[in-house]
A and B are shown apart, each in its own frame.
Chain A
Amino acid sequence: MGEFTIKMPDVGEGVAEAELVEWHVKPGDPVREDMVLAAVMTDKATVEIPSPVTGTVLWLGAEIGDTVAVKAPLVRIEVAGEGGELTATAMPETVTIETVEEQSPVAKVESPPLESKKAIQAAPVTRGEVQTPAEKPLASPAVRLRAQESGIDLRQVPGTGPAGRITHDDLDQFLARGTQLSVMPAGLARKTAVEEIRVTGLRRRISEKMVLATSRIPHITYVEEIDVTDLEDLRATMNGSRKSDQTKLTILPFLMRALVKTVAEQPGVNATFDDDAGIITRHGAVHIGIATQTPAGLTVPVVRHAEARGIWDCAAEMVRLAEAARTGSALREELSGSTITITSLGAMGGIATTPIINHPEVAIVGVNKIMTRPVWDGSQFIPRKMMNLSSSFDHRVVDGWDAATFVQRLKVLLETPALIFIEG
């Protein structure tokens, strides 16, 4: 019998270390070649580490939440033949966004005590989407199909059938309740419970990135109000005559096209800043990050080459990526490489935001809610659709004057939307 030490692989993106977010094995477990040993997190995505050998797990080199350096020992496996050292191969094809699985109190109470032992143990831990076939939610094909069509993640649905099987009735009840599980109102009773939630996985990554951005980048935020009445009219007309296979336009595709035009004139804004090396990289490509809320937290899928996309294509790609991000199926390359970012909290209301720059970019444009406000036209108040743009810039490399010029140019394009479509 020999022993193999499996080392942390280079998971790409030039990173030297990655956070361990999940173990799929424990000491004593038999493993086969290609079986997933662990999942590690890189830039907002998890990467699975498969076993390069068949044997029995002897030792695990880290705990969940630990940061493991590339080439550091990760797992030791006892094998039948001679042992040695191996660096595992990362599996980018199974990249997923982490989804936090909430333990269902209903499932726990209603399940017979012996059942779903693995599931109950695993439930509070964050884990990747890929599971072994037998660990998929237990439901008949017809129930699974209905769930897919309704956009429901069956892992969130408590099953009342044998072995925790999810029935049509369970699905009906879940649909009726929404995603809230049946928790009775607690009345006015005192609550003394405290809950400690370990910040791991995507939340930790977001946290680190926000700290990095705010501690290193001196932000200047510039807020301007834009009259989008004409843009809204145009948008309504275009949506009214869109083809059946075209995605409905929101204001964001217009903003994306306006950004493309604006950064062509001001390339210093579509840039990334490596402050360690003291190099600003201006990008010809306009890869627009779209800050997107997912069940797991904030992610930024990237519409690549917006400069080469028409407005309908921008809209379609944005919708596709948002869906991929929300369902956890976005690829790593779809979640990285942006050169400028748009953030939108418009749907929630609010008059202004202070967007945090998506490091190492130098600019972010934030969209606020469109509101009909009275505007003085010189002789009377008239109702106009007004929207504030809140844009932040890296003040080390973008001067206030340039920031204002950039936003004013965007304002002109958005207020006279025909200009967005005029070539040259």
Chain B
Amino acid sequence: MKEIVCKLLVIGAGPGGYICAIRAGQLGVDTVIVEAVKAGGTCLNIGCIPSKALIHAAEEFDRVIHMAGAKSPLGISIEAPKLDLAQTVAWKDGIVGRLNSGVLGLLRKAKVKIVHGKATFRDGKTVEVETETGTQVIRAETVVIATGSEPVELPSLPFGGPVISSTEALSLKVVPKKLIIVGGGYIGLELGTAFAKMGSEVTVVEATQQLLPQYDAELVRPVTKRLGELGVRVLTGAKAKALSDGGLALLIETADGEEQRLPADRILVTVGRKPRTEGWGLEELDLDRTGKFLRIDDRCRTSMRGVHAIGDITGEPMLAHRAMAQGEMVAEIVAGKKRVWDKRCIPAVCFTDPEIVTAGFSPDEARAQGFEIRVGLFPLTANGRAMTMLSEDGFVRVVARADTNLVLGVQAVGAGVSELSSTFALAIEMGARLEDIAATIHAHPTRSEGFQEAALKALGHALHI
């Protein structure tokens, strides 16, 4: 078989890989991308996009369900609404399909050659790809590893039967009556909230003492409160042990050390993700690691010359937009531009109800860095737009240096606050001070006014509280 020789080979067409390939193609770099499953990777196919589709459908259903029987304070009443999950999933699949072909189209437009199949390293510059038509050998001057991550399996609860990962959860045809979620991180809570709104009786089993352990308690509190309103049972400090009753129940050990049996139709295990480092010949390369991740420098270079790595395989935070930014940077480096990773923050969003968004340092993180800080917090109960949308829970919080008022971090929790993430990140990347935020006109009535008010509060002269 004829070999393909190219300047840049990207392994994995997830958000990091496909962005890298498109940008490299735009810059005239002869680029080949290899994808084993579907373009778009975890994010597009079994992660961000389908989960957000399902979350939205669940929100809509929850909204109308509360209008049934004339319970809505808005004065709207409707007959008993119904949900056809199979149709919801088909609609979600339609969106995924459109985006999927969109990515392939963008790659083609950038003149990137796409090879479908599983890649295996032969050496640092050569891979073999098992395609439908046989083995294809590709040689490249530069290789970018963007193989992503996969869900972590619990040895005592292997995936299969009633035990599912987020991938299967996003393709269920029927809403499970009793759903147990093992792991109270953002994936588990996002899906758990959605299924609770669709009618599941949801129980969350979390081993640590707090849900969403990566966030501070103040941010998590409105989410916990809402879970209670939705009837979600939360068991913190509890450990999942094993299936029982032929898979119809989960045995757990509670915080008090007691064993409990929780009946379940489905058990969704979301205890984290691990980098995909096996099954593609990485052992041939012997690249340096940082823990289980590949070690990279500030140009995403691995310990082997001409081999870059981007995205989830390189470490936390495992977020699509981090991978995208790395992919773009590496493409430009390969094209000969001087680039180095110099981002000040990687915003993160948790699409629970209400949503949580963070950018930069939390108050505790800023203090731990040695900064004297001032914090401004504005509750959305004092925000007109939040009131008119029946969603007053939450707040916007800004953290700034006490000496210069330089904004070090912004956090928010509330309905729809995910859309504020770009504003927060922009403020931090631009090096804004509290005065800059305070002096920028924020459109009224919007939730974004909460950001301005939080800055004013930190400066000591909030106007609406």
Contact = CB atoms under 8 A, between A and B. Distances in A.
Interface string A118-139: 1000000000000011101011
B367 A162 contact: no
A290 to B, nearest CB: 17
B421 interface: no
A144 B338 CA distance: 11
Contacts of B366: 134
A140 B430 contact: yes
B133 interface: no
A29 B368 CA distance: 8
B165 to A, nearest CB: 29
B370 A25 contact: yes
Interface stretch (A30-38, A172-180, A213-221, A411-419): A30-38
A373 to B, nearest CB: 39
A349 interface: no
B361 A134 contact: yes
A151 interface: yes
B405 A163 contact: yes
Q: Which 10 A-B pairs rank lowest in CB-CB distance, beginning with the nearest?
A: A138-B431, A163-B404, A163-B406, A32-B368, A115-B404, A165-B431, A140-B430, A148-B338, A132-B369, A141-B429
A408 B108 CA distance: 58
A117 interface: yes
8 contacts: A35-B369, A118-B370, A134-B401, A134-B406, A151-B338, A162-B435, A163-B405, A329-B297
Contacts of A149: 337-338
Interface string A258-284: 000000000000000000000000000
Given A148-B342, A151-B338, A163 B433 contact: yes
Contacts of A136: 342, 344
B433 A35 contact: no
B460 to A, nearest CB: 16
Given A134-B371, A148-B338, A329-B298, A162 B436 contact: yes
Contacts of A116: 404
Given A140-B430, A141-B429, A329-B298, A134 B408 contact: yes
B255 to A, nearest CB: 20
Contacts of B367: 30
A163 B403 CA distance: 9
B345 interface: yes
B340 interface: yes
Q: Chain B contact residues: over half helix, strand or loop, or mixed?
A: loop
A267 B193 CA distance: 72
Interface residues of B, number: 34
B339 interface: yes
B295 interface: yes
Nearest to A333: B303
A84 B334 CA distance: 48
A93 interface: yes
A189 interface: no
Interface in B422-465: 429-431, 433, 435-436
A139 B226 CA distance: 40
B290 interface: yes
A114 interface: yes
Contact of B433 (A25, A134, A151, A162): A162
B333 to A, nearest CB: 11
A165 B435 CA distance: 14
Given A132-B369, A149-B337, A114 B404 contact: yes
Contacts of A25: 370
A136 B428 CA distance: 12
A133 B431 contact: no
Contacts of B429: 140-141
A115 B435 CA distance: 14
Contacts of B408: 134
A163 B431 contact: yes
Given A32-B368, A165-B431, A114 B406 contact: no
A149 B329 CA distance: 13
Interface in A3-36: 25, 29-32, 35
A165 B428 CA distance: 12
A132 B408 CA distance: 11
A234 B375 CA distance: 67
B209 to A, nearest CB: 15
B369 A134 contact: yes
Given A115-B403, A133-B360, A151-B338, 17 more contacts: A25-B370, A32-B368, A35-B368, A35-B369, A114-B403, A132-B369, A133-B344, A133-B361, A134-B361, A134-B401, A134-B408, A140-B430, A144-B342, A148-B340, A149-B337, A161-B431, A163-B405
A151 B299 CA distance: 15
A133 B345 contact: yes
A138 B370 contact: no
A139 B338 contact: no
A114 B298 CA distance: 32
B326 to A, nearest CB: 15
Which of A29, A149, A162 counts the most chain B CB atoms within 10 A?
Answer: A162
Contacts of B361: 133-134
A304 to B, nearest CB: 11
A164 B406 CA distance: 10
Specify which of B141, B337, B370 lies most central, judged by the most chain A CB atoms within 10 Å of its CB.
B370
Nearest to B340: A148
Nearest to A162: B433
A148 B344 contact: no
A153 to B, nearest CB: 11
Highest count of chain A CB atoms <10 Å: which of B141, B298, B431: B431
A117 B436 contact: no
Contacts of A161: 431
Interface in B342-362: 342, 344-345, 360-361
A117 B403 contact: yes
A38 to B, nearest CB: 14
Interface in B396-423: 401, 403-406, 408
Contacts of A117: 403
Interface string B4-20: 00000000000000000
Contacts of B290: 93
B104 to A, nearest CB: 29
Nearest to A26: B370
Nearest to B369: A132
A146 to B, nearest CB: 11
Nearest to A164: B404
B5 to A, nearest CB: 13
Nearest to A114: B403
Contacts of A132: 369-370
